[in-house]
Amino acid sequence: METLNYQSRKVTKNRLAFVNDDAIFKILYLAIRNASEKWTMPIQQWGMALNEFAILFGNEQVSFK
Protein backbone atom coordinates (compact mmCIF):
# COMPACT_ATOMS: atom_id res chain seq x y z
CA MET A 1 0.00 0.00 0.00
CA GLU A 2 2.83 2.38 0.79
CA THR A 3 4.33 1.79 -2.63
CA LEU A 4 1.03 2.64 -4.25
CA ASN A 5 0.76 5.85 -2.22
CA TYR A 6 4.33 6.77 -3.17
CA GLN A 7 3.63 6.15 -6.86
CA SER A 8 0.48 8.30 -6.69
CA ARG A 9 2.34 11.17 -5.03
CA LYS A 10 5.20 10.84 -7.49
CA VAL A 11 2.98 11.39 -10.55
CA THR A 12 0.93 14.23 -9.05
CA LYS A 13 3.56 16.09 -7.01
CA ASN A 14 4.92 18.46 -9.66
CA ARG A 15 1.59 19.21 -11.30
CA LEU A 16 -0.04 22.29 -9.87
CA ALA A 17 -3.31 21.97 -11.77
CA PHE A 18 -5.15 19.49 -13.94
CA VAL A 19 -7.31 20.35 -16.92
CA ASN A 20 -10.28 18.48 -15.46
CA ASP A 21 -11.18 15.62 -13.13
CA ASP A 22 -10.70 13.05 -15.88
CA ALA A 23 -7.06 14.12 -16.26
CA ILE A 24 -6.18 13.27 -12.66
CA PHE A 25 -8.18 10.03 -12.75
CA LYS A 26 -6.36 8.97 -15.90
CA ILE A 27 -2.90 9.73 -14.52
CA LEU A 28 -3.68 7.87 -11.29
CA TYR A 29 -5.04 4.92 -13.27
CA LEU A 30 -1.82 4.74 -15.26
CA ALA A 31 0.28 4.99 -12.10
CA ILE A 32 -1.68 2.17 -10.47
CA ARG A 33 -1.39 0.04 -13.58
CA ASN A 34 2.38 0.53 -13.71
CA ALA A 35 2.73 -0.17 -9.97
CA SER A 36 0.61 -3.32 -10.24
CA GLU A 37 3.15 -4.89 -12.59
CA LYS A 38 5.53 -5.16 -9.61
CA TRP A 39 3.05 -6.75 -7.20
CA THR A 40 3.72 -10.37 -6.29
CA MET A 41 0.44 -11.28 -4.62
CA PRO A 42 -2.71 -11.32 -6.74
CA ILE A 43 -5.36 -8.75 -5.86
CA GLN A 44 -8.94 -10.03 -5.73
CA GLN A 45 -10.94 -8.93 -8.78
CA TRP A 46 -8.04 -6.75 -10.01
CA GLY A 47 -8.53 -8.01 -13.58
CA MET A 48 -12.14 -6.83 -13.55
CA ALA A 49 -11.07 -3.42 -12.21
CA LEU A 50 -8.40 -3.08 -14.92
CA ASN A 51 -10.96 -3.93 -17.58
CA GLU A 52 -13.25 -1.19 -16.28
CA PHE A 53 -10.38 1.32 -16.29
CA ALA A 54 -9.45 0.31 -19.83
CA ILE A 55 -13.04 0.90 -20.95
CA LEU A 56 -13.10 4.32 -19.27
CA PHE A 57 -9.64 5.53 -20.28
CA GLY A 58 -8.45 3.36 -23.16
CA ASN A 59 -5.28 1.30 -23.29
CA GLU A 60 -2.62 3.98 -22.88
CA GLN A 61 0.98 2.82 -23.04
CA VAL A 62 2.49 5.49 -20.81
CA SER A 63 5.29 4.79 -18.34
CA PHE A 64 6.13 6.94 -15.31
CA LYS A 65 9.52 5.39 -14.62
pLDDT at residue 7, as a whole number: 78
Q: What is the pLDDT along the chain (65 residues), one digit of tens a residue?
A: 677 777 788 888 877 788 888 888 888 888 888 877 777 777 788 788 888 888 887 766 543 33
Of residues 52, 11, 13, 55, the one with CA closest to residue 30: 11
Please tell me the pTM assigned to this model.
0.52
Of residues 14, 38, 39, the one with CA closest to residue 27: 14
